[in-house]
Amino acid sequence: MKINTIILLNISICIILLSSCYSQEFQSDSFAKRRDRMVLEQIELRGINDRAVLNAMRKVPRHKFVPDIYIEYSYNDYPLPIGEGQTISQPYIVAFMTDELKLEPTDKVLEIGTGSGYQAAVLAEICDTVYTIEIFESLGNKAKKLLRKLNYENIKIKIGDGYKGWLEFSPFDVIIVTCSPTEIPQALIDQLKEGGRMIIPVGTKNNQNLVLLKKKNGKIKQHSVLPVRFVPMINESGEEY
Ligand code: SAH
């Protein structure tokens, strides 16, 4: 190869590299802007104003938690498919559940239904540690890899049936369930700390409510906070609870 050709080739490679860096930079900037708009329009204007929740929603890069084909829709006002017939929840629902739990920085949280890992990342921005359980191995492993890449060292993921909770690390200050059983699993109530809070969608596909539950002086108090539609909680054979 002639020296001129080599120089030209090197210049072209530099241009390609620089322009790809620029476009990535530009893209992540535009995702940050979309995220700010999502938080303002879909969350703040609907009445959620807790600083920690809003900051977490502004920080976690939701577009990295959706399959590539949906990246353009990742900041829109609806849930999206993540594989195995499951979905990443609508941003407002993630913010709403997080807000209802009145999280403290010292809280140890259990999540049932890791899915994409997005809700776990939002929780991990606010609390001390997040334990999360996913029944589909493929989803759990994918979330594990992504959360590691994003440096979420305070999230521990287990593949298994979250209906039974995670006894080893119980009791928890907070439990958040993102799949719906027809009744609240007793194991989860048992693994909640005194003074703890749980939020869980309960019911059937067509009649489901988010229930907020509190444990005070050993007694359980609960009430419905919002009608919702989550995927069902299933066991390892795929049967609905
Ligand atoms: N929190 C998720 C939303 C996931 S949808 C996110 O931010 O993306 C609910 C998830 O619950 C699905 O991934 C589903 O596979 C999982 N799931 C259903 N039944 C389960 C069970 N018994 N234990 C653990 N995960 C379960």
pLDDT tens digits for 59-73? 999 999 999 999 999
Identify which of 57, 74, 80, 86 to mutate to test ligand 1's pocket (most ligand atoms within 8 A of the CB).
86
pLDDT > 90: what percent of the chain?
A: 87
State yes or no: pLDDT of 88 exceeds 60: yes
Is residue 60 within 6 Å of ligand 1 at its C-beta?
Answer: no
Distances in Å between the alpha carbon of 126 and those of 13, 54, 112, 152, 162?
43, 10, 18, 12, 22
Is residue 140 within 6 Å of ligand 1 at its C-beta?
Answer: no
Is residue 88 within 6 Å of ligand 1 at its C-beta?
Answer: yes
Of 178 and 14, which is predicted with more confidence? 178
**Known catalytic residue at 89:** yes
State yes or no: pLDDT of 95 exceeds 70: yes
State yes or no: pLDDT of 13 exceeds 50: no
Mean per-residue pLDDT for 115-122? 98
Among 12, 28, 30, 89, the active-site one is: 89
Amino acid in the structure at residue 232: P
Is residue 163 within 6 Å of ligand 1 at its C-beta?
Answer: yes
Residues 6+ apart with CB under 8 A from 79: 87, 88, 89, 90, 93
What's the rounded Cα separation, in Å, for the pair 208 and 105? 30
Considering the segment(s) 41-228 as one domain, its CATH architecture is: 3-Layer(aba) Sandwich (3.40)
Q: Interior CA angle at 95 toward 33 and 190, to 5°?
A: 150
Q: What is the pLDDT of residue 226?
A: 96
Q: What is the CA radius of gyration of the chain?
A: 21
Of 13 and 144, which is predicted with more confidence? 144
Taking CA atoms only, the protein residue closest to ligand 1 atom 17 is 113
State yes or no: pLDDT of 24 exceeds 60: no
Residue 185 pLDDT level (bands cut at 50, 70, 90): very high
Taking CA atoms only, the protein residue closest to ligand 1 atom 4 is 115
> How are beta strands 207-216 and 219-227 bridged, if at all?
antiparallel
Mean per-residue pLDDT for 79-104? 97
Residue 205 pLDDT level (bands cut at 50, 70, 90): confident
Mean per-residue pLDDT for 83-101? 97
- What is the residue-averaged pLDDT of the chain? 92
